[in-house]
Amino acid sequence: MHKDFALGRFGLVSGPDLPDARLAYRTYGSLNAAGDNCILLPSYYTGTHASYEPWIGKGRALDPDRWFIVAVNMFGNGLSSSPSRADPEIRGAAFPSVTIADNVIAQHRLLTDLGVRHIRMIAGWSMGALQAYEWAVRYPGMVSGILPIAGAARCSPHNFVFLEGVKAALRADPGFDDGRYTVPPVRGLRAFGTVYAGWAYSQDFFRNGSYRDVGYRSVNHLIDDWAADHEDMDANNLLAMLDTWQRADVGTAERGGFEGALGQIQARCIVMPSTTDLYFPAADSRIEVNLIPYAELRPLESNLGHIAGRPGIRGAETEQIGEAMHLLLDG
């Protein structure tokens, strides 16, 4: 069961604020007396704290008998402050734009309140990786290592265009009504999931029938499942997180731009792009690794596309991620 951390009226980097802001989280294991055995897992797009549980447990990569693991939910995911769960002043379409930096600042307040003095590793898939990079830049002395998996330090132009496409599919439903819907815009939500399905996996995944490895009988079964899955989601929540994603960039002017920001990272980094990711490609990760002082590029060999890094998706990918975690935690 997750807990809520009350942030009060939380000022956002962009200017407005979140009244009665809440950060939902769950912890596993116990914090040691030194406050330095913490592992942070920031949530990803449409995921929650529970999404990381395939990595957590005795005999798994993250053992709660040894580590104090904090899995935190990003703003907009429906558990932390979100369009669907917010003060009436900012509920629904009125929810303000929230940045990756806003999420990390709120998480820093949470960890400080929990007594954490140092973070041994921040591991995150997809949007979780975006948050890991921001942590390493914003609080360099607090983080020993980061493991960005199938993610990046910023949203690239091509990634931005992909997200505009899924956004347009949802907003085209007349029932969406610019976010003022009173019943879910089901057609738009199903269209969103259908378009997204083609980007989540690789060409090899479909060509070789690897969809059977992850529980799908056919391509049509996969398409139907993605449409049905998104049908149950809140449209404004999806767009709020998507906005956070599109605006992600560690390279602010005061940090010396993108190159200057990555050059300030003190943490050891193992960067794991999926070798077949369509929108967080390994080429982008290679550029980032070359700008970070203590970074290693360790591609996640997989034909699953972006989904390769999702916790527990398949044994071969889980093993590769576990090896990288071991290197950061014990190497």
Torsion, Cα 5 24 317 227, to 10 degrees, reads: -160
Judge contact between 294 and 328, C-beta under 8 A: no
Judge contact between 42 and 125, C-beta under 8 A: no
- The residue annotated as part of the active site, out of 80, 81, 126, 202, is 126
State yes or no: is 306 an active-site residue: yes
Q: Pick the closest to residue 244 from 155, 165, 168 (CA basis).
A: 155
- The residue annotated as part of the active site, out of 230, 277, 284, 285, is 277
Q: How far is CA 169 from CA 41, 63, 247, in A?
A: 30, 41, 20
Active site residues: 126, 277, 306
